[in-house]
Amino acid sequence: MPRALIDTTVLFAAAYQRDGSHDAALPVLQGIDNGTLPEAVILDYILAETLNGLTTHAGHDAAVDLLDRIEENARFHIESLTTDALATGKSHFRQHEPLSFVDACIVAYMQTEGLSYLYAFDDDFDAVEDVYRLDTATNPYDPN
C-alpha cells in the first residue's frame, strides 16, 4: 500500500480543535483512516513532538487519546530512523538552516526509504528537492 509521511503540523492540528489549521488537518487524518489517502508514516520524533504539544495545550488525556488511536489503527505506522538515516538527518540539519532537526530527519527518512510525499503545513519543506508537500487531503497516488 502506498505511504506518505505526516508532519507534526498536521497531526497536532487534527487533534487540537483550537489550532488554526484544524479544519484543513482533520480531513487528512480521516482520509488516512478511511483509505481514501495513503497510509501514514509517523516518525517517532514526530510522535514525541505531537504528544508533547498536545499535553501542553490540551492535556494529558488528549495526548493519550491520540496515541491510542494511532496505535490501534493499522493504517498508521510509527517508524524510527536507521543509524544511516540519522547521520543523513544530522548532515541536512547542518547544511540547511531553515530546517529544524526533526524536519531534517524527516527528509533523511524520506530519502532513505524512497518516499516522496509529506502531509505538512510547514513550507520550509518546499525548498527540499524530491519532497512533495501536501497541505490538503489529496491522494498523490490517485490519478483522478
Model pLDDT, residue 96: 86
Tens-digit pLDDT profile for residues 38-91: 999 999 999 999 999 999 999 999 999 999 999 999 999 999 999 999 999 999
Predicted model pTM? 0.94
Q: Is the pLDDT of residue 1 over 80?
A: no
3-134 CATH choice from 3.40.50.720, 3.20.20.210, 3.40.50.1010, 2.60.40.10: 3.40.50.1010
Q: Residue 68 is which amino acid?
A: D
DSSP letters, the chain, are --EEEE-HHHHHHHH-TTSTTHHHHHHHHHHHHHTSS-EEEEEHHHHHHHHHHHHHHT-HHHHHHHHHHHHH-TTEEEE---HHHHHHHHHHHHH-TTS-HHHHHHHHHHHHHT--EEE-S-GGGGGSTT-EEE-SS--TT---
In angstroms, the CA 120 to CA 87 distance is 23
What are the Cα distances from residue 98, in Å, to 55, 71, 113? 26, 31, 22
129: confidence class by pLDDT, cuts 50, 70, 90? confident
Domain spans, the chain: 3-134
